[in-house]
């Protein structure tokens, strides 16, 4: 099921990029866009995790450097019966965390410096359990591919917008007279929205599932509840300095960006209040 879902995303990417290429450059543009789509599909599948980690400035850490983080990760990975992911720290004071990779055997978990500073042991355990739930559920493959796709679509839109500004628009012999420029203009403005909607579709339901699975992995929801409350408070005050809008959907909570960006128009995550309420309902449910 996870493979089919990811395959569907790659097909949507291919179709969308071909349509954008046709709007911008006619048949020639469609051919170029198809080649780009094939390339991005391969890169997304095999290297989306590396792209997400590099774009956030994440640095690998050893057990000697962060024994507290390794202890929590190893204990919970054993409970989840998955390999211990590679661990990274993002140089960012805004507390957050994300998991990425194409499978539990090729997974990485990154936490920010701010998260390590503000979370107590129970809260850190709740955050890590949430991220390992994404790993075990194979959410990391779909969300990492989606993040790469979203970044690619938005980047193409930016290139096209600058091309129209500097070159006076696009058009070719294959364009309908008077229609090519309008189609191109619409595509350039719709492309970032399409990238955002792609992430929006993927993020919301999986966050509820990861919260529940993470709480059951730990044996109680209190640490994750406290962590989400703290994350919500801090991320309203501290804008991220490292995480990019295209990878925001990977994070346990939506980062705050310092300047107005398109991603701020919509939320790729469910409201924190709803997630916390769902976890509180688990208190009366026997944990296994």
- The H-or-E segment that residue 88 falls in is strand 86-90
* Number of folded domains that form the chain: 1
Could you identify the residue written with the tokens 């500004």?
A: 165
Picking from 10, 9, 115, the residue whose alpha carbon sits closest to that of residue 72 is 115
Q: pLDDT tens for residues 53-82? A: 999 999 999 999 999 999 999 999 999 999
Q: Partners of 99 in the beta sheet?
A: 109
SS3 258: coil
> pTM for this one?
0.74
Provide the annotated active-site residues: 131
Kindly give the confidence (pLDDT) of every residue in the chain, 288 residues in length, as a single tens digit, with 9 standing for 90 and above. 555 666 666 677 667 667 766 666 667 767 777 777 777 767 767 787 898 899 999 999 999 999 999 999 999 999 999 999 999 999 999 999 999 988 899 999 999 999 999 999 999 999 999 999 999 988 877 766 666 666 666 666 666 665 555 555 544 444 444 445 555 555 556 666 666 666 666 667 789 999 999 999 999 999 999 999 999 999 889 999 898 877 787 899 989 876 544 444 445 688 899 999 999 998 876 665
* Tokens of residue 159, six digits: 């290139």
Q: pLDDT tens for residues 121-152? A: 999 999 999 999 999 988 877 766 666 666 66
**Domain enclosing residue 148, as ranges:** 2-284
């Amino acid at each position: 099921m996870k493979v089919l879902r990811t395959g569907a995303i790659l097909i949507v990417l291919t179709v969308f990029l071909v349509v954008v290429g046709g709007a911008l450059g006619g048949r020639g543009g469609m051919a170029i866009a198809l080649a780009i789509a094939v390339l991005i599909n391969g890169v997304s599948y095999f290297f989306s995790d590396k792209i997400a980690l590099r774009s956030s400035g994440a640095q690998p850490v050893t057990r000697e450097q962060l024994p507290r983080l390794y202890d929590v990760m190893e204990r919970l990975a054993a409970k989840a019966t998955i390999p211990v992911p590679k661990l990274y720290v993002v140089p960012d004071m805004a507390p957050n965390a994300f998991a990425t990779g194409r499978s539990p055997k090729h997974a990485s978990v990154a936490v920010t410096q701010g998260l390590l500073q503000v979370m107590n042991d129970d809260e850190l355990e709740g955050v890590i359990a949430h991220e390992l739930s994404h790993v075990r559920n194979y959410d990391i493959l779909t969300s990492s591919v989606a993040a790469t796709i979203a970044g690619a679509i938005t980047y193409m839109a930016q290139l096209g917008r600058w091309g129209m500004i500097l070159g006076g628009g696009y058009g070719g012999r294959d364009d309908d007279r008077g229609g090519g420029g309008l189609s191109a203009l619409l595509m350039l403005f719709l492309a970032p929205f399409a990238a955002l909607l792609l992430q929006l579709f993927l993020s919301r339901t999986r966050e509820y599932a990861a919260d529940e699975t993470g709480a059951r992995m730990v044996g109680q929801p209190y640490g994750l509840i406290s962590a989400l409350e703290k994350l919500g408070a801090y991320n309203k005050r501290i804008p991220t300095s490292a995480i990019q809008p295209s990878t925001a959907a990977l994070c346990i909570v939506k980062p705050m960006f310092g300047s107005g960006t398109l991603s701020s128009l919509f939320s790729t995550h469910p409201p924190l209040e709803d997630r916390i309420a769902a976890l509180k309902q688990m208190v009366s449910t026997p944990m296994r």
